[in-house]
Structure 1
Amino acid sequence: MPPMNPEEEYNNRARVADSAAIIARWLSDAAAFRAAWPRKRLDIRYGDTEPELLDLFLPETDGPCPLALFIHGGYWQALDRTAASHFARGLLLRGVAVAVPSYGLCPQVPLATIVEQMRRAAAVLCLTTRQRMLAMGHSAGGHLSAMLLASDFPAFAAGLPKDVVPAALPISGVFEIEPVLPTGIGRGLNLTPEAARALSPRWLPPPGGVLHAVVGGAESAEFLRQTHDFSAAWGGTAEEIPGANHFTVLDPLTDPDHPLTARAAGMARRLASL
């Protein structure tokens, strides 16, 4: 077999011919969703730096509801929460509140700092809502959602339970960062192989909790491999969305009746309040 070409395997914008049009549509759909959804709290600050803001969308029905945290992708170097708001729609229509955070971007912000920002976002949500949450995320956000499942929250902030995030549903995540380093994308991370491995959930001890990893059936061999290898290493489950590429894999989340949305809602409902 020919050697793996990291650029071909990991450069998803180059792999998917209409990726620019898809991302432009995300931005438009997300803006329309934020404007139209009736119950929301926008621009909640969870930290001191400019990007540390999140939007919280609430179901239209009153009363207690489960909570999910959805983390956007962009290889830790692009986009923010305003490209992902509409992916909360399906869960909201199933009665699940959804928080969508922004974070600092590499290379201005180290990846280790981004991980800490997402821990801070989850901690603030837990302390203010008194709820544990399902962590979800796409691509880089899939990596970050896995890192949250592996986090020891009492060591991060006093007054938190260990399992602030007892369940994660990463979508098209990067769980081994080392193979990305030789690519143009990887160079923007400014990581040594040792640092990349330390920040790779694939090589962390399985933390317990519930993991369901998702990947598009039409994604590269490396994304398929990473998803299945990671899920097996952590004792989780894995699912391929037939025919979906790295971007269309998110489409099911806008549909409350799609099995993936139903599964995510069920995972969120099983999390007990504090």
Structure 2
Amino acid sequence: MDLQAEYDNRARVPENPAIIADWQRDAAAFRAQWAAAELGIPYGAGERERLDLFRPGPGEDWPIALFIHGGYWQALDRSFFSHMARGMLAEGVAVAVPSYDLCPQVTLATILDQMRAAALLLHRRTGRRVLATGHSAGGHLTAMLMATDWRALAPRLPADLVAAGLPISGVFELEPLLPTTIGAGLRLASAEARAMSPRWLPAPGLPLHAVVGGAESGEFLRQTRDFAAAWGGTAEAVPGANHFTVIAPLSEPGSPLTRRAAAMALAVR
């Protein structure tokens, strides 16, 4: 199998620069017009340890979702993805969109710790458990948050602080990335890659719905299917969607993906 071809999504979708430019434009326009937004909330001390919180209206008493961006842990930031909150906001769900530091400047373990800190901040601000969702690398981080032993971090935290997950086009087995150009930037040994692969971690027994684009590579389709089965969740391949277009429905109020995400967030208490 040509693992480079299977996992190199930018090569598989040559029009990706235009799609990403559209994300950046639409996200900026959304931030400019959404009144109930709090931008640049620090969840840590670093420059990129910030999140933007979009609420359906005033106050904190809203179900909450954490949307984690992709970029193979090596690119992009929250400013490209603000508009992905639009659909869930229309359903009465607040959405937080964080940035994080990038590999190879930091380790993947550091990024995971940052996303744990972001989820913890949201819980402490609102008293609520969190739905995690995310795209590509964000799908991996979504699953790792679900697998986190929160009480090991602080005994009084709920064991299911991240109480449900909706990963989109996630990577749940990292070892196949190691011989690719993507894996080079992660600087992971084989044992580390396996330890950071949610596919091989004990299933947390939480609600899980894994989504992938129907036009993605065989490896992305396989990883989504195998991971959902291993964790006792459900899986869905969106017909015709590629790795970049699969998240577009989150920006659309009333889309099936939006309704699924909102229903999962509304069920979290």
Q: With the length of structure 2 as denominator, give the TM-score of the two structures.
A: 0.98
62-71 vs 131-140, greater mean Cα deviation: 62-71
User: Runs of 4+ in structure 1 displaced over 6 angstroms?
Assistant: none
RMSD value over aligned CA atoms?
1.0
Q: Determine whether 1:232 maps to 2:232.
A: no
User: What does residue 57 of structure 2 align with?
Assistant: 60
Q: How far apart in 2 are the matches of 1:62 and 1:111?
A: 34
User: What does residue 129 of structure 1 align with?
Assistant: 126
Q: 1:209 aligns with which of 202, 206, 229?
A: 206
User: What does residue 254 of structure 1 align with?
Assistant: 251
User: What does residue 143 of structure 1 align with?
Assistant: 140
Superposition map of 1:155-234 within 5 A: 155-234=152-231
Superposition map of 1:7-156 within 5 A: 7-60=4-57, 64-156=61-153
**Contact persistence 1:61–1:95 (CA under 8 A):** no
Q: With the length of structure 1 as denominator, give the TM-score of the two structures.
A: 0.96
**Paired residue type of 1:19:** N
Q: CA offsets, 1:46-100, max 9 Å, x none? A: 0111111000000037673210000000000000101111100000011100000
What's the CA shift for 1:236? 0.3
**Paired residue type of 1:28:** R
Q: How far apart in 1 are the matches of 2:44 and 2:65?
A: 19
**Paired residue type of 2:83:** H
| Contiguous gaps of at least 5 residues in structure 2 | none
**Paired residue type of 1:91:** M
Q: Determine whether 1:264 maps to 2:261.
A: yes
Number of equivalent positions: 269
**Paired residue type of 1:75:** Y
Q: How far apart in 2 are the matches of 1:63 and 1:118?
A: 20
| Contiguous gaps of at least 5 residues in structure 1 | none
SS in structure 1 of the partner of residue 212 of structure 2: strand
SS in structure 2 of the partner of residue 23 of structure 1: helix
**Paired residue type of 2:156:** G
**Paired residue type of 1:151:** T
